[in-house]
Amino acid sequence: MFVKLTATYFLTTDHAKSRSGQPVLLNRTTAQAFLPSDAFVAYESWQEMPAAQVVNKMALWRDFSEEERRLIERFASVQRQPEVPSRRTKDDSRSQHPLTSNRQSR
């Protein structure tokens, strides 16, 4: 499958970096392929961002068929993962959950 996003960038599942039907973002000029989490600068006027974010931004520029939209969403959804709650430090865990009791046995 092939989805042209811009004159330079397109999504494809027909690339060595593509696994199990997962599309990659391909730069037609440089032949460089990007996975959703790969951060890069797509254009000089853009800041560095993950490829999934680049695709989401480009997907706003024109209308796509339902099939093309599904491929875009499949690529962009890989980047979205739930946040992992921060872990407590050792000092916090000791003060809240002591492992041993301070009471002495008689």
In a domain, 72, yes or no: yes
- Determine the Cα–Cα distance for residues 45 and 31; give it in Å rounded to an integer: 21
| Domain coverage including residue 49 | 2-77
In a domain, 55, yes or no: yes
Tally of structural domains, the chain: 1
SS3 93: helix
In a domain, 20, yes or no: yes
Neighbours of 5 (CB within 10 A): 21
In a domain, 91, yes or no: no
Q: List per-residue pLDDT tens for the chain, 106 residues long.
A: 899 999 999 999 999 898 888 899 999 999 999 999 999 999 999 999 999 999 999 999 889 999 999 999 999 886 444 444 444 444 444 444 444 445 554 5
Residue 65 CA: distances (Å) to CA of 20, 28, 71, 72, 87: 22, 21, 10, 10, 43
What pLDDT is attached to residue 30? 95
